[in-house]
Structure 1
Amino acid sequence: MSASMQASPTILLPQLPPKTLVGIDLITFTSTANFHGIRDLPNGWHFLYTGTTESLSLRSGAWFYVGDITGAQHGYKKLALVPQQQKTSAQSGPEIFIWKWNTDTESLASLRSDNDSDTQEAMRYKANLGAIWQSGGLFQFRSRVPKSNTTDTAQSEVTQIDDDDETETSGRADWRRLTDCITPNVLTRIIGPPNIDVDSCSRWMVTSASTAGCDADNIPGLDPQRVDEDGVPRTTGEQERDLWFLPIDLKYTWPDGAIGRERTEAAQDRSWALGNLIHRLSRSVHPVTGEPSFDEEQAEKDFLGEVQFAFLMVLTMMNYSCLQQWKRMLELVLTCRSAIVDREPFMAEFLALLLRQLQRCDDVEGGLFEMDGDDGGEFLRDLLKKFRRLVYQVVESDSTSRVKDELTKVEKWLKEEYDWELTHEVFVKRGMVRLEDGEEVELDMEDNDEDEETGEYAPMVVDSGETML
């Protein structure tokens, strides 16, 4: 390789068929006959995936990390989950990630370190890297596709360069903010142990058909052999199903043994269910003493990491199970009342993340809200309306609150982009309407029953069968 061609982290994709859909992070493109890989990868998390066509085909891909992967971890207990042979930036030479096309599965596969043939093949590809570069076969990494400019003036060309630089900087910042809570521990817990390639780098593989047990038709719930005594999926052992999400049962959000008012309050305010899930997720065993310990701050970050993972697998892979988990996590958090104060930093960060995700919703083919027949996002709109009411009930009008500040940003953006109105008071919930023949009828909003405690939400007297003496 010549001096002008400075080595940089590179993905090599030998034998990739032309017209294959290729995606990395937030961009997608169709490969050409001369496309052999991507160079100049920035440090941090990346997700590479392919599909035989742009739509209606199985997509497969993997998460991998460029640079020292220990920088993507938090806390001593996470280090044990990273393979000891994981390559770090302290080693000499740029990182070269080689993915060979598997014609049988029509997907990319890593060259394995335990295969001598793969090792020799990797050496040949690396030795030929300079020739591939000179032939123009390496695509320079871009975090976003810049806008086209059809003008030919010199000033316009200068402006276009500036716009491209600004777009690239913004795109990389977006991706970092969408993945800043993802760790090797989060990926291993959800997907299972990573594959180790010929250069001792970890890759967490996933497909658009990957499914969690709670979303499978023939599996009613989590496999007890794959969860610990607290119900949190384990990170060791053989993977029996594809995805192991945090268990969220929105129909059972109260502690065991709760009755009467306690159960009613826990069903209306799911703060206990959220706190219980985070507490169980925070549990770990000290590697030396064997004593249990709890780190709820890290557990909250891991919870947000799963929200990030689920959303990005919808964005890139259109994975149905990930969409269901994303919606479950949204509904759990946005129906919490006391957590607005008790877990203020977490709730504020959750809303900030939600806003970043909503700003990318249109990247999904056909729109994210239409994937699940969500009627233009009615599910999320109703959740945010109720959550806004909770926030203004809990937080006094003259008080400062990070949750209220972040919610205001979400509310403002949704009003500008989708013309959503989250304030209940601006709607007429019940009123008289005059028909064409002069008859007047009373109409009521469909989602007004819960607020007014009418319909299926109306209180009722139940005969307990007990006789009062």
Structure 2
Amino acid sequence: MISNMDTHEASESNDVIVIQDIPAGIIFGYDARSYPILKKAIYGGIRQVPKGVHFVWAGSSHNSLRTGFWLMTSEERNWLFAKRWDPEQEVLINNDKLKQSSLVVPEFFLGLHPYHETPTGASGGSDILSRLPNIWYNLTSSINGVMLSRITSNSTVNNWYVSTTHEYTEKRETQQAGFSISEKDEVLSFIFPKETRTYTQDAIGRERTKQAMDTSNHVTTIINDVCDSGDYTEIVGELQFCYITGMILGNVACMEHWIHVVKIVFRAFKLTLDSPIFFKKFIEAIHTQFLFDDVGIDGSIFDFDNSLAQDLKIILIKFKSEFDQLVALQQNLTDDQKAVCKGFEEFEQSLLTFHNGWNLQANYVRSGRIQMEDGEYVDAEMTDFQAEDERGEFAPAVVELDDDGREKGLISF
């Protein structure tokens, strides 16, 4: 990286991303846009990069491996982010030699592609950017440099490397192990715990069932005890990081973590009114990702798991039902609570045209008689919401029986 490029008029108020030796056939992407490299170029890249969070990546068209770097720019200085393509490993790597290159002249920078201009030929993201030019900002609104250093376990600013093969560990696991993770280990560290049990160990009976059905207490504990200084935006930022890194690079660990966080938080019904600012940001993040999904990128988050679309649709139907009941019982809503209602209403409206339409007001009958097309009535039972009835103290449990068929460990009188 080169700072203080005051001698280059073309980049006095903007940053530059340069990729050296990128061959034809490579898919190159930056932020919400991507395009194929049609002919080999000694130098390629982007100029007039605006201030903020950015993601640059590349991958071979005949190789499933993709690599990229998260970058942060600021108003304080101008940067040249220098990377190059390694033909042997087929990955993006740092390019420190460009710092001394004689090619760092104004004419060189003017030959780079302007950030906001649509590339010639086929390109990903052009359609969504024409309709929603600020979507990249909305996709990354809660991501910052401190978070990127923590997730990638790399404290070097603007060297936040990620790849398709990066794996996942919890922040607490890394600390307990007593070692530091190097970049070569390719491990991502998330703060949101991966455990699915959402009730405390000392909760019993009705309280245990309540905590299992409503994850508000669980999510609140994560915010207060795991997030730095109770900063709930870390959860939103982590969600944004996982969606972008997971979808663009095909990183399985990120996609799995995204799914896990979404399923847990959308069961935190009480938290919608108890922590409305957090929940509004969370809903807005998901809403933006759904707008970008399958339009701004090649593929969808739902391609990862065939049952995910149906699972998430059921979760959102349940969420809407519980949320509407809570709002109806609230006599006077605060401005922040009203903002949550509006945010979810806008999200729900957009879902009507998402993936053949998601109607969250659909009535799901758990059991009863259904009339078939030929007029015949049959007894039927819907199992979609069966899991909602089998949590907490009512969850099925495996027990060991004695020779008489009774549960072992019971007290006899």
- TM-score, with structure 1 as normaliser: 0.72
Contact 2:86–2:93 (8 Å) recurs in 1: yes
How many angstroms apart in 1 are the aligned matches of 2:153 and 2:9? 41
Contact 2:166 2:253 in 1 (8 A): yes
Q: Is the 8 A contact 2:368 2:381 kept in 1?
A: yes
Partner residue in 2 for 1:178: 139
| Aligned partner of residue 188 in structure 2, secondary structure | coil
Q: Which residue of 2 aligns with 1:208?
A: 164
Q: Percent identity?
A: 23
1:335 offset after TM fit, Å?
Answer: 0.6
Q: 1:450 to 1:252 in 2, by over 3 A?
A: closer
- Aligned pair in 2 of structure 1 residues 367, 143: CA closer, same or farther (>3 Å)? farther
Give 1:320 deviation, angstroms.
1.2
What does 1:134-283 correspond to in 2, within 5 Å? Answer: 136=111, 138-142=112-116, 170-171=132-133, 173-195=134-156, 202-213=158-169, 222=170, 226-227=174-175, 237-239=180-182, 242-283=187-228
The CA distance in 2 between the partners of 1:465 and 1:402, in whole Å, is 52
State the match for 2:58 in structure 1.
Answer: 50
Return the alpha-carbon distance in structure 2 between the equivalents of residues 6 and 251 of structure 1: 49
Name the CA distance, whole Å, in 2 between partners of 1:184 and 1:359.
25
Matches within 5 A, 1:34-113: 34=41, 36-53=44-61, 56-68=63-75, 88-89=76-77, 94-112=78-96
Given that residues 348 and 360 in structure 2 are in contact (C-alpha distance below 8 angstroms), is that contact kept between their aligned partners in structure 1? Answer: yes
State the Cα distance separating 1:224 from its structure 2 match: 6.0
Aligned: 1:423 with 2:361: yes
Paired AA for residue 213 in structure 2: Q
Indicate the residue corresponding to 1:25 in structure 2. Answer: 31
The equivalent position to 2:318 in structure 1, one of 366, 381, 386, is 386
Which structure shows the bigger proportion of residues in strand conformation?
A: 2
Map 1:265-304 onto structure 2 (within 5 A): 265-283=210-228, 295-296=229-230, 299-304=231-236
Q: What is the one-letter code of the residue matched to 2:69? A: A
- Taking the aligned partners of 2:8 and 2:197, their CA distance within structure 1 comes to 63
Alignment check: 8 A CA contact 1:25 1:143 kept: no
Q: Specify the code of the residue in structure 2 equivalent to 1:10.
A: V
The one-letter amino acid paired with 1:141 is Y
TM-score by length of 2: 0.81
TM-aligned CA deviation for residue 437 of structure 1: 9.5
Q: Does 1:10 align with 2:16?
A: yes
Kindly indicate whether residue 101 of structure 2 is the aligned counterpart of residue 124 of structure 1: yes
Q: Distance in 2 between matches of 1:227 and 1:20?
A: 38
CA apart distance, 1:349: 1.5
Maintained 8 Å contact 1:101/1:108: yes
| Cα distance in structure 2, aligned partners of 1:260 and 1:405 | 36
User: What 5-or-longer segments of structure 2 have no aligned partner?
Assistant: 1-5, 400-406
Deviates more, 1:11-20 or 1:330-339: 11-20
C-alpha displacement of 1:262 = 2.1
For residue 431 of structure 1, report the CA deviation from its aligned partner.
3.8
Number of residues paired by the alignment? 383
CA gap of 1:143–1:130, structure 2 versus 1, over 3 A, is closer
| Structure 1 residues without counterparts, runs of 5 or longer | 69-87, 113-117, 149-163, 196-200, 214-221, 284-294
CA distance in 1, matches of 2:121, 2:290: 21
CA distance in structure 2 between the partners assigned to 1:143 and 1:305 by the alignment: 27
Aligned counterparts of 1:395 and 1:178: Cα–Cα separation in 2: 28
Residues 98-121 of structure 1: per-residue CA shift (max 9 Å, x gap): 112222321221134xxxxx3xx4
Asked if residue 341 in structure 1 is aligned to residue 318 in structure 2, the reply is: no
Q: Work out the CA distance in 2 between the residues paired with 1:96 and 1:448.
A: 53
Report the 3-state secondary structure (helix = DSSP H, G, I; strand = E; otherwise coil) of the residue aligned with 2:302. helix
